[in-house]
Structure 1
Amino acid sequence: MKKLIALAAACAATLALAQDAPQMDLPRVKLSAGMHQIDAQVAATNEQRMIGLMFRKSMPQHEGMLFVFEYPSQQCFWMKNTLLPLSVAFVADDGRIVNIEDMKPQTEDSHCSREPVRYVLEMNKGWFAKKGIKAGAVLAGQPFAK
């Protein structure tokens, strides 16, 4: 019982610390959208996905965050505690962008995939539009390798 209580306290302390500062030490993957290169941090665990890009004050234009889920399902994102305006692409297993949504900082509005997806890519707001990337475009990179 004492071990269980200690484990719960450690988890709570980790989450409390995570809520005050951005996570910066995630693994990275190289993706491409046509000729455009993306250096994406990978959020693959529940905790990493929950924190996402919260509390970050800036992000380089060629960088983003790829959220990876265990299986395809409808994914919905919001921007609570997220300071950056972001665009989010909901991506199928084969790298096809299902839909793209723009998200306002520090809001709780839901932005959802139009069909079940395993991947969600967040970039600075307007990145996809500036590059002419729309729903139906295909991303390439290790997660989408056939």
Structure 2
Amino acid sequence: LNSFSVRHLGASPVRAEDMGEPTQAQATLPKENLTIASANGRHVFSVELAKTPRQQQVGEMFRTTLPADNGMLFLWATPQQSDMWMENTLVPLDIVFIGTDHRIQAIAENAVPRSLAHISSHGPVGATLELAGGVTAKLGITVGDKVEAPSLEKKS
């Protein structure tokens, strides 16, 4: 999955129209507000929702900016290990893996643009969130923090 070019490497259904490597940024996806409750307070982000396999494949690829208060939320149909990479992602990202209990299970900070290194949740998660690189450290967001969003509530 790409969010600023992060790709989900797990198996997912792909339709014929979804085939092919992305060559440009996708249009802005539908958005919702997502809140992370940390020891430092409540942090609100406007996140795009990557729901379809193609939206998840393209993610943040080829985008040249990601504001600190924006992000992309990848919603998995069923809990699964989330494996990402930064192919064609042009800006650093913090990749936040969200458990089915809506708590942060792991954070990969400042993922390197264009890297093909795998970034793994190391276990099943319900969603993956991509934020601008460095945001989690700056705001004091850590493993165990609670994530609230309408799309996550619908999955419960």
TM-score by length of 2: 0.80
Gaps of 5+ in 2: 1-14
Amino acid at match of 2:66: M
Residue of structure 2 in register with 1:114 after alignment: 122
User: Is 2:32 the partner of 1:32?
Assistant: no
Give the match's secondary structure for 1:129. helix
Cα pair 1:94 1:144 within 8 Å, conserved: no
Alignment map for 1:1-146 (pairs within 5 Å): 11=17, 15=20, 19-34=22-37, 35-102=42-109, 103-145=111-153
- What root-mean-square deviation, in Å, do the aligned CA atoms of Structure 1 and Structure 2 show? 1.8
Gaps of 5+ in 1: 1-6
Cα pair 1:98 1:114 within 8 Å, conserved: no
4+ runs of 1 displaced by more than 3 Å? Answer: none
**CA distance in structure 2 between the partners assigned to 1:48 and 1:138 by the alignment:** 25
Give the superposition deviation at 1:84. 0.8
Compare CA radii of gyration and give the structure with the larger one: 1
Give the match's secondary structure for 2:57. helix
Identity of aligned residues (%): 33
Give the match's secondary structure for 1:98. strand
**CA distance in structure 1 between the partners assigned to 2:43 and 2:126 by the alignment:** 22
**CA distance in structure 1 between the partners assigned to 2:92 and 2:126 by the alignment:** 23
Give the match's secondary structure for 1:144. helix
Give the match's secondary structure for 1:122. strand
**CA distance in structure 1 between the partners assigned to 2:134 and 2:145 by the alignment:** 16
Give the match's secondary structure for 2:54. helix
Deviations 1:94-123 (A, max 9, x none): 210000002100010001113201200000
**CA distance in structure 1 between the partners assigned to 2:50 and 2:152 by the alignment:** 16
Structure ranking higher in strand proportion: 2
Give the superposition deviation at 1:15. 4.4
Give the match's secondary structure for 2:137. helix
Residue of structure 1 in register with 2:9 after alignment: none
Structure ranking higher in helix proportion: 1
